[in-house]
Amino acid sequence: MPFIDTHAHVFLRSLPMVANRRYTPDYDASLSRYLQVLADHDVGCGVLIQPSFLGTDNSYLLASLDAYPNALRGVVVVAPDVADDVLIDMNQRGVVGIRFNLIGKNVAELAAPENQSLMRRVAQLGWHVEVQARGGDLPTVFRHMERFDGHIVIDHFGLPDPRLGLRDPGFRQLLRESESGRTFVKLSAGYRCHELDVAPLAGALLATLGPRRLLWGSDWPWTQFEKDRTYVGAAADLSRWLPDLAAQNQIDQTASGLFRFSDPLHQALHRQRKVA
């Protein structure tokens, strides 16, 4: 079981949600529930990803970071015109990146001057940009991010077209990104690739990018795919995709550096529990 979970969501049904959202949860995925899941499985640190249905209201995520500053980090969704002092405050509270969820959107929005400016500003903070996009859109995504001077994190294997798998042009682009050294790929949520066997994708990513550019995330609580999902199953998926223990250990080391977990990993959550 990895010690750092780099992809999870926390939310409450009572929180204000954006209009025209693709999904509305009918349950709470509270911070306390997530922390209990981590404790039950001896996972020490987690990265909270702002859910798309909460839009740019990151208040619950930020409160979670405030409560557990050593054990948690955050990736937020912000408006392009967000003030610099807001970004600086988020940085001090444990935010390490912004996310563009481009599913169902025009990826050309990345090229808009206001988003290009936003990416320059977050690069100055040392943040990464996380992108969720369909595989076929990734070549365009990378083209629009050529001037971004920072790390790029691609969600969920790059979501290749299940009919194409390894031949998906976006996935081929991910493999070519090995030369840049700035792109990371999350081995997470294989079920979001619509029944595609993602083990060959993991093997290709390991062989080309190497373990220093791979991350693992549980995708807890598996929004829209909750049925029959378990945290143990999410970790077992990683063991199936990446059976080499040395590579799994490297993934944790990669996550520790990229997400700024400065405390010794096996002390972080335990220290927070004592404080709480």
Task: Give me the number of domains the chain comprises.
Answer: 1
Which residues 6+ apart lie within 8 Å of 147 measured at CB?
116, 119, 120
Which pLDDT belongs to residue 179? 80
The predicted model gives 260-264 an average pLDDT of 70
CA angle 230, 162, 134 (to 5 degrees): 85
Which pLDDT belongs to residue 218? 98
Q: Do 202 and 242 contact (CB within 8 A), yes or no?
A: yes
Residue range 15-70, pLDDT digits in tens = 999 998 989 999 999 999 999 999 999 999 999 999 999 999 999 999 999 999 99
Which 8-state DSSP code applies to residue 11?
B
Q: Which two tokens stand for residue 167?
A: 């031949």
**Domain that includes residue 60, residue range:** 4-275
The predicted model gives 190-204 an average pLDDT of 94
Per-residue pLDDT at 106 exceeds 70: yes
Q: Write down the mean pLDDT value for the chain.
A: 93
CB burial string 16-29: b at 16+ within 10 A, e below: ebeeeeeeebeeeb
Write the CATH number for 232: 3.20.20.140
Which pLDDT belongs to residue 20? 87
Which pLDDT belongs to residue 268? 42
Q: Do 244 and 203 contact (CB within 8 A), yes or no?
A: no
Percent of the chain topping pLDDT 70:
95
Q: pTM of this prediction?
A: 0.93
Which residue from 34, 22, 42 is spatially nearest to 192, judged by alpha carbons?
22
The predicted model gives 158-165 an average pLDDT of 96
